[in-house]
A and B are shown apart, each in its own frame.
Chain A
Amino acid sequence: MQKTERSQTNNRVLVVGGGLGGIRTALDLAEAQKDVVLIDRANNIGGLMTQLDRTFPTNNCDLCTLAPHLSESNRHEHISLMAMTEVQGISGEKGNFTVSLATRPRYINLEKCTGCGECLQQFPECVSFTPGLDHRAPTCMRYPQNTPQAYAIDLSKCDDVAGLVKCCPAGAINPDDLGSNGDIACSSIVMSPGASLFDPSGLDYLGYSENPDVVTSLEYERILSASGPTQGRLVRPSNGAQPKKVAWIQCIGSRGLQKGAAPYCSGACCMFALKEAMVTKERFQEDIETTIFYMDMRTFGKDYERYYERARDEFGVRFIHSRPHSILQHPGSDQLELGYTVDSNSSLQTEEFDMVVLSTGFKIGDQAKELANRLGLELTSSNFPANPGLNQVETSTPGIYVAGTFQGPKDIPETMVQASAAACMAGKDVTPLEADSEQEPLLPPERNVVGEEPKVGVFICDCGENIGGVINVESLITRLEKLNHVIVVKAEGHGCSRESMENIRQTIEELGVNRVVIGGCSPRTHESKFQDLIRKAGLNKYLLEFANIRDQVTWVHGHQPEQALNKAEALIKMAVGAVCESQPLADHSLPINKNVLVVGGGVTGMTSALELADQGFKVYLVERTATLGGVAAKLYRTLEGDDIQDFVSNLIKRTKDHEGIEVITGGIIVDHSGMPGMFTTGMQVGRQMFYRQIEHGVTILATGARPNRPELFELGNSKAIATQLELQELIDQDAARVKTWDNVVMIQCVGSRTADNPNCSRICCQNAVKNALSIVELNPEARVFVLYRDMRTYGFQEEYFQKAREKGVIFVRYQQDNPPQVDHADDQATVTYHDPILVREVKVSADFLALSTGLVADEDSSEELAMVFKLPRTEDGYFLEDHIKLRPVDLPVPGFFVAGTAHAPKTISESLIQARAVASRAMTILAREAINLGAVTAKVDSARCASCLVCVRACPFDVPFINADGYSEIDPAKCHGCGMCASECPAKAIQLLQFEDDQVLSKIEQLFEKVVA
């Protein structure tokens, strides 16, 4: 076997933990042609995310999003997956570790198990499972897309081993399995075993242990989930009735000092409570009331503030700024009574609810702690791996990196970013392997179907409850069977599960199907998976059409099953019409240019450039201004106390000295063309504006954001009023002045979370805390007042917020419609604010007023760059990533990546993580020798072309030109497949392959067939 030689070396990365983060790390490395061993202690990979219902902020079905990653990680040639496996010990050092692993016996041969479920049916008690929150009969596959797609046996629960062995039709059960122990050599290790969730059983005043209607957020998630114990029906665990009133209580087990609570903020709970409340409202509309009790709503992520607004304004979720004291149930009542007080009112309110959801946060569990100890990692007082500096993914041991919730509490997008960053770091110690020349040697030859009568196979997914819960799939099938050219229609359960895929393949081969229609979910997430499938069945991958009867039918017409059924039928008929006209197409591929263009010379751009240059790629670093360093060059210290000036000057030196990096300052990008892997970008450089062009394979945008400076609260009218940025400079440069201050006021959200700029600037709360702490450190007698709307010191920042209060800093909440009033003199600012707890006005004669003005997108640069590179931006001007959750640093134009504050406001260490994440993502492209451009390109029929130049003018990428023969020519290697020329061409001389006119017309014909008849 070719892998034997590989297994002897240590040229690989060990990834511990197969949750979403671990999978991302493994895939990034594998795509960069590096070998990975991915281990997980559970029976199957997927981690916590497999237990969720929907994920914010898109509110998409979770498993649908995750499943393609799971199966991808299982079939990637550079990844060896080891489930039920744990680290026992470690020796060696960075570049040469030996890790001993122990694999528990599964008693099932993975090679043979087909996942048919016979063992579970006959011996349910012996088939082991991870029960999670399932109250129903145990199933060992927690979800239909399980990876590995196999059962596991708990032999200790089995009385009839011989019978069990016999029941398996595949002969996969092996009672003599002893598991295995072994050492593997590796160069580096990425730890992403995840965190546990806080257990609220110890909080007697919440009644969680006694009252079934008090549930944790994860339990609520399971109740909502189609694969959960109630198949997605929302019912009260106590009596099975639909709840009318549900309350969420935030910060359970987080932001506390007693009864086992963590001192930090868990970062994700505000968002998941919003999501759960919105999904609940979505399903029951007026029939249900949702209330969230919170201390601070922490929606600090990209566009998360908009999500919060939607929950409040569109969904009618109710928010109460209060922490209820206890949950009571009076004898004889089935209601849960919450007592609470609200701001500006000293009287007790009580209210009854049917269910209460406890938003429990992240904790490092004993197992993860033990694992960290076994690896010799230094831990913080909260048992997270200690981090030596500004690089969050590093640990106290060189060569061991961390990502995800094991590093610190966080949500999925941030986990994905860290996972890629960890891949970047860990990948440095590993040499990429030669890309295999024969990529898929096992594929059968493509059948020639040209000239054959179309024989269409239609496969319908019920997608669990997602589709099957709304429409009757069987009656849909009956309607479709009569269609012309359709030779088979089948229901396939979860079509994307391994078992269903195998059934579809067999059906195609056995019946000689030559066109395939999938009626199921979105081609955006699943098209490539089914393209691969029909290719394996011997068909060209373009002989496939998708009818999205989930997103476009059942999700949006859930309350009208009959009409939904009609629409599903119509969509599938259209797909059948289109697929009958589809033709086999060949993908184009081109060699890759391995140079990198990084735009923006701040800390993010420099870090990306250095990471890539260190791994041998040539980097052009273009900075618009005359100097490197960006906004960070104006900063002095991080909240944690790192010296930024020192860091930035070192970074600049290393960047300038690196022989792999060409720094171009004073460079303004003016034009751009090409395809991923072969871009050409033109720029004007220096004072003379010399024009030069650069050829590169990928582009990284790290153009930063701009410190905001709105003219609010008398900013600019007094020496005593300034921004936090200016205050931190004063603290560093003029301590003597700071020492004279008696009273200082800070106002948060100045120019953020407003109508003009609706999003949260994310960095300001921690900045205010940082500066307040510096002031009281220099001048312990100074009084500092921070006037805020929600304190958003997420994650470990919370501990600094606590420290600031401990030092006497006073934090006061203000309402947007009743902001503080500022009067100024030359060296004084009088701030009058309303204290909602005292219900009184407070007038502070302040020696200094600092305004937290936050960041805004740099319109100057981002608007122009978006135009030149044809990139979308968010409403507030930041670059818009391809998928907020799963591809947070990939831009929608392939080959483009975004990092740092050009993506959204963030701290320096968060920017540096993104800088490394984009380096890792870039390497997944740069490691290839050629790039597949797909087959969707425009094609000119020269016989029809009148050389009218309409296409030449219409193309946003300047691809068409009139060739020597006098007609329009479009280079398929440059064509982006947008279809503009095809739609504009007056002579209909241009066709967009895969979307040709006869395909579209056939769709329309199918749709209006009845009308015509």
Chain B
Amino acid sequence: MTTTTIEVKGRKKQSFKDKVQEIIPGGGNLDLCLTCGACAAGCPATGLEDMDPRKFLRMCAMGLDEEVTQTPWVWMCTMCQRCIYVCPMQIDIPQLVYNVRAEWPRDERPKGIRDSCDMALRNDSNSAMGTAPDDFVFVVEDVLEEYKEAQPEFKDMVAPIDKPGAHFFLNQNSREPNTEPDELVPLWKILHLAGVDWTYGSRGWAAENYCLFLADDKCWEHVTRVSAQQADELGCKVFLNTE
């Protein structure tokens, strides 16, 4: 815990917070804190690294840029938005955290998140587990066949991939096709019973986006574009993000 006295002297300099304020649409109300502590009271990361959202915001307001941009606490935030949900001033602390993450040199960001982002860039699946498009197609078709046989009441069930003109473009967390393929099925059943016209894409099917959590805007944009492009090419009307 830093206990040094903070010295305020001379002309105000532009701070990190001022910069973020310009980026966030509407500014994020970053100056409006009433210090009520509602955010800290509901944050799963409160108390970690001797930090909480209120303190983090206060440090930004006081221009303690060096400390703010170096605390590993920003990687403990889950981006759950519980803070902004109850904040009387609707202060966008999650955005502030995000922008601090982006300040970190890429190679110093947490390895797990970084590797998952990098993995998604390896092929057009976007999968943080590196699953290739062919593998995904194979798993889906295989599981579908198995269920149609075992459960005759679902013999007409479909799990289309790259179906042109489908209404919904559905994406899918890679964990299921990779480790729990049976977990894919309940959603298919619902869609089937509801008579929904949907499709997966062979490209951009993976729903997780670790590049977002890594605050790597460029890579985030890349994976998002891959998915969006596939949906566009198929002529789907609605992108259904399941993540």
Contacts and interface: CB of A to CB of B under 8 A. Distances in A.
Interface of A: 205, 251, 255-258, 261, 295, 321-326, 339-343, 346-348, 742-743, 781-783, 785, 802, 805-808, 810-811, 813, 832, 835, 837-845
A807 B29 CA distance: 11
B33 A842 contact: no
A255 B29 CA distance: 14
A167 to B, nearest CB: 53
Interface residues of B, number: 43
Nearest to A837: B58
B6 A255 contact: no
Contact of B88 (A261, A839, A840): A261
A346 B62 contact: no
Contacts of A255: 34, 88
15 contacts: A205-B86, A258-B87, A261-B88, A322-B37, A325-B86, A339-B42, A341-B46, A341-B52, A342-B37, A346-B40, A783-B12, A805-B32, A808-B31, A813-B35, A840-B6
A340 B38 CA distance: 7
A322 B38 CA distance: 7
B195 interface: no
B138 interface: no
Nearest to B1: A839
Contacts of B6: 835, 838, 840-843
Given A205-B85, A261-B88, A325-B86, A346 B34 contact: no
A340 B41 contact: yes
Contacts of A781: 11-12
B9 interface: yes
A326 B86 contact: yes
Contacts of B2: 840
Contact of B8 (A322, A783, A806): A783
A261 B3 CA distance: 37
A785 B62 CA distance: 10
Given A348-B47, A783-B8, A835-B58, A806 B32 contact: yes
Interface in B1-41: 1-12, 29, 31-41
Given A256-B88, A261-B88, A347-B47, A838 B62 contact: yes
A809 B11 CA distance: 14
Contacts of A256: 88-89
Contact of A258 (B9, B10, B88): B88
A830 to B, nearest CB: 9
Given A321-B37, A742-B11, 20 more contacts: A251-B36, A255-B34, A257-B32, A257-B88, A258-B88, A261-B88, A295-B36, A322-B38, A326-B42, A346-B50, A346-B55, A348-B41, A742-B12, A743-B8, A832-B5, A837-B58, A842-B8, A843-B5, A844-B9, A845-B7
Contact of B46 (A258, A346, A811, A841): A346
Interface in B80-97: 82, 85-90
A729 to B, nearest CB: 25
Contacts, number: 129
A782 B10 CA distance: 9
B76 to A, nearest CB: 12
A785 B12 CA distance: 13
B38 to A, nearest CB: 4
A251 B41 contact: no
B101 interface: no
Given A837-B55, A844-B8, A325 B47 contact: no
B54 interface: yes
Contacts of B33: 805
Contacts of A835: 6, 58, 62
A806 B6 CA distance: 22
Contact of B55 (A322, A811, A838): A838
B239 to A, nearest CB: 28
A844 B55 CA distance: 19
3 A-B pairs closest in CB distance: A325-B42, A325-B41, A323-B36
Nearest to A809: B31
A504 B1 CA distance: 76
Contacts of A343: 37
Contact of A323 (B10, B31, B32, B37): B37
A802 B6 CA distance: 25
A467 B86 CA distance: 45
Contact of B7 (A251, A837, A843): A843
Contact of A838 (B7, B37, B59, B85): B59
Contacts of A743: 8-10
B51 interface: yes
B5 A340 contact: no
B11 A295 contact: no
B61 interface: yes
A347, A782, A837: most-surrounded residue (chain B CB, <10 A): A837
Contacts of B31: 805-808
A806 B34 CA distance: 11
A323 B5 contact: no
Contacts of A322: 36-38, 41
A703 B52 CA distance: 51
Nearest to B41: A325
B24 to A, nearest CB: 14
Contacts of B35: 295, 811, 813, 837
Contacts of B52: 341, 346
Given A743-B9, A808-B31, A810-B61, A840 B55 contact: no
A842 B61 CA distance: 13
B5 A257 contact: no
Nearest to A791: B34
B222 to A, nearest CB: 34
B41 A324 contact: yes
A807 B27 CA distance: 12
B115 to A, nearest CB: 30
Nearest to B32: A805
Nearest to A808: B31
A323 B4 contact: no
Contacts of B40: 341, 346, 348
A348 B54 CA distance: 12
B215 to A, nearest CB: 23
A840 B86 CA distance: 27
A255, A341, A781, A842: most-surrounded residue (chain B CB, <10 A): A341
A808 B18 CA distance: 10
Contacts of B12: 742, 781-783
B238 to A, nearest CB: 27
Nearest to A249: B38
B82 A325 contact: yes
A876 to B, nearest CB: 30
A733 B9 CA distance: 26
B37 A845 contact: no
Contact of B38 (A324, A347, A839): A324
A606 to B, nearest CB: 39
A323 B41 contact: yes
Given A322-B37, A325-B86, A340-B37, A742 B5 contact: no
A810 B57 CA distance: 12
Interface in B85-122: 85-90
Contacts of B55: 346, 837-838
B8 A838 contact: no
A808 B6 CA distance: 18
Contacts of A323: 36-38, 41, 88
A250 to B, nearest CB: 9
B46 A845 contact: no
A657 to B, nearest CB: 48
A742 B7 CA distance: 13
B39 to A, nearest CB: 8
A841 B62 CA distance: 12
B36 A840 contact: no
A802, A805, A806, A838: most-surrounded residue (chain B CB, <10 A): A838
Nearest to B85: A205
Contacts of B32: 257, 802, 805-806
Contacts of A845: 7-10
